[in-house]
Amino acid sequence: MFGSPGHAYIHINYGLHYCLNAVTQAEGIPEAVLIRAIEPLENAALMYRNYTGDIVSEDIARQEKRIGAGPGRLTKALQIDKHFDGVDLTDSESPLFLISGATVSDNEVTTTTRIGITKAADYPWRFYVTASPFVSRRAIRVK
C-alpha cells in the first residue's frame, strides 16, 4: 500500500481471502481503494468455474450476480493472488489493469459506511453504483 499510485496492493484478509486494492497516493503514503465487486461482462463462465468449480454456459454464469460480489469472491473468480501485488493497473499490457467504464452521476452512487471491519467502521468510505445487482452487501446510505 506504500507503493506507487496506480499499482495493485494485494493483501490477505483474515488469512482466508485475497483482496485487491488500487494504490491512490504518492509512494510512501499508505492509501488505497479496495475493489469490492465486479460485473462480469466477458468470460463469466470462466469466472464461475474459478469460483465454484462448476462448468456452466456463459449465459447462466452471467445470471449469477454473486460471482464477483465481494472482495474475496472477486479475487477468487479472477484468480488474483499475491503474484499480482505491485502490478501497474494503468498499463493495458499488465496482467491486471483497470479501464474506464460508463460514466455515472453522483446521484447514481450510494455512499455508505464501511463494512466488515472494526476500526473506523463509521467512515463513509464505501461507494457503489446504486442500481448495480453486483454489489456484495447493501448498507445504510450516508447523507
pLDDT tens per residue, range 113-140: 877 777 777 888 888 899 888 887 665 5
Q: Is 129 exposed, middle or buried (0-12, 13-18, 19+ CB in 10 A)?
A: middle
Residue with cell 496492493: 9
pTM: 0.85
- 48's grid cell: 464461475
Distance CA 119, CA 142 (A): 18
Extract the C-alpha cell encoding 86: 505491485
Tens digits of residue pLDDT in 5-18: 999 999 998 888 99
List, as one string, the DSSP characters of 68-110.
Answer: TBSHHHHHHHHT--GGGTT-BTT-TTSSS---------GGGEE
- φ, ψ (nearest 5 deg) of residue 108: -100, 0
Taking only the tens place, the pLDDT of each residue in 41-80 is 899 999 999 999 999 999 999 999 989 998 999 999 999 9
Calculate the dihedral angle through the C-alpha atoms of 23, 84, 133, 137, rounding to the nearest 10 degrees: -70
